[in-house]
Amino acid sequence: MKVANGYEFVAMLEQIAPKKLAMEGDPIGLEVGDLSKKVRKIMFALDVLETVVDEAIEKNVDMIIAHHPLLFRPVSKIDMTTAHGRMLRKLIKHDIIVYAAHTNLDIADGGVNDLLAELLELENTEVIVPTYHEDYAKIAVYVPEESHEAVRLALANNGAGEIGLGYEHCSFTVSGTGRFKPNKNANPSIGKALELTEVKEVKIEAVFPFSKKDQLIKAVKLVHPYEEPAIDVYKLENMSKTTGLGRVGQLKKEITADAFIDIVKNALALEYVRYIGDTSKTIQKVAVIGGDGNKFIYYVKHSGADIFITGDVYYHTAHDLLALDLPTIDAGHNIEKIMKGYLKKCFVARCKALDYEVDLIVSEINTDPFQFL
């Protein structure tokens, strides 16, 4: 088994929650530490507080992957008499890496908002606030029959051939005859200079997100036996993908808001929630935005949702929600802690596939600052 470094685990996280999905200005990524360090234990946390850092030290953690950035605002000084300063000193002293995946993990397929929608058993979910649009293309590579498997794997391992959420390694292969005549400047792996050569070839086709074009072409060239491989790329007019914040979907049947509140509390393991609106209203279409959804209430209303679930609702925003006739459950910001178990599950599968030797744990510290008395 291999002991991987921080860069290799960041690459793994990028597959789950690509940085390109993050909202503008969101301070995601490396916050403390040296990613070239070998990592033997990773802890997943919602927040990085001094108690969480102490937990990491006690458990000999090498890397903390958190949802909420530790350095959300620029630091002008490190005062060791404050909790924040002590925390930074402890992290540096014990050589602990801190890496954050915030809005990119909220937005990503399977991420925080999809997890919340799944727990609430919402069907036919759609994005509420579009934030990122990706065009798709098709790549076609011509390769000798004996080398086609290496090229096919290079395509699949670099993001080609994923269709929807359920299918990977999708490709199509057709056989044919390739012809070429190397000139005097060529150094052919097959055939001779100035002689017409025929080779039994296959054409491998696969779809891919257009942003991965350069990465895919580079990967193909690394394994392709030809000096100048033939590679075609076509933009697809019938395939694209839009991602964004929040999800809106349908319950299996209509119920009262009062009954749905109990479902939310049970699904998200909550003792209490705050509620805005009429509890007797009948609802079926549900919107959810993890964390602070205050500035997106008009998007939610436009989605046609009967009820909205989010956290940290402001006093005046609550008045706006009443005016919009949009019943809202404030379930708190801490419900995003579901990301800890999700990331651990994703990393376990990927580490097993890559034969990485690492201990993966979730933080057991309750970082919810609120008590209901």
Both structure tokens of 197: 């050569």
CATH number at 107-131+244-335: 3.40.1390.30
Fold exhibited by the domain 133-241: Alpha-Beta Plaits (3.30.70)
Neighbours of 251 (CB within 10 A): 18
pTM over 0.95: no
In angstroms, the Cα distances linking 353 to 80, 348, 350 are 42, 9, 5
**Residue given tokens 């403390």 in the structure block:** 32
Q: Identify the CA nearest to 137 among candidates 15, 17, 242, 232.
A: 232
Of 150, 128, 324, the residue nearest 229 (C-alpha): 150
User: To which residue do tokens 């609802």 refer?
Assistant: 283
Count Cα neighbours of 367 within 13 Å in the Cβ-side half-sphere: 24
Instruction: Report whether 64 contacts 48 (CB < 8 A).
Output: yes
Domain 107-131+244-335 and domain 133-241, same fold? Reply is: no
- All structural domains of the chain with their residue ranges: 6-102+337-362, 107-131+244-335, 133-241
What are the structure tokens assigned to 329, written together?
């459950």
pLDDT tens-digit profile, the chain (373 residues)? 899 999 999 999 999 999 999 999 999 999 999 999 999 999 999 999 999 999 999 999 999 999 999 987 777 888 888 888 999 999 999 999 999 999 999 999 999 999 999 999 999 999 999 999 999 999 999 999 999 999 999 999 998 998 876 788 999 999 999 998 889 888 888 888 888 989 999 999 999 999 999 999 999 999 999 988 999 999 998 888 899 999 999 999 999 999 999 999 999 999 999 999 999 999 999 999 999 999 999 999 999 999 999 999 999 999 999 999 999 999 999 999 999 999 999 999 999 999 999 999 999 999 999 988 8
The sign of the CA dihedral 105, 107, 111, 115 is positive
110 in the Ramachandran plot: left (φ > 0), alpha (ψ -120 to 50) or beta?
left
Question: From the centroid of its chain, how far is CA 70?
Answer: 19
Topology, domain 6-102+337-362:
3.40.1390
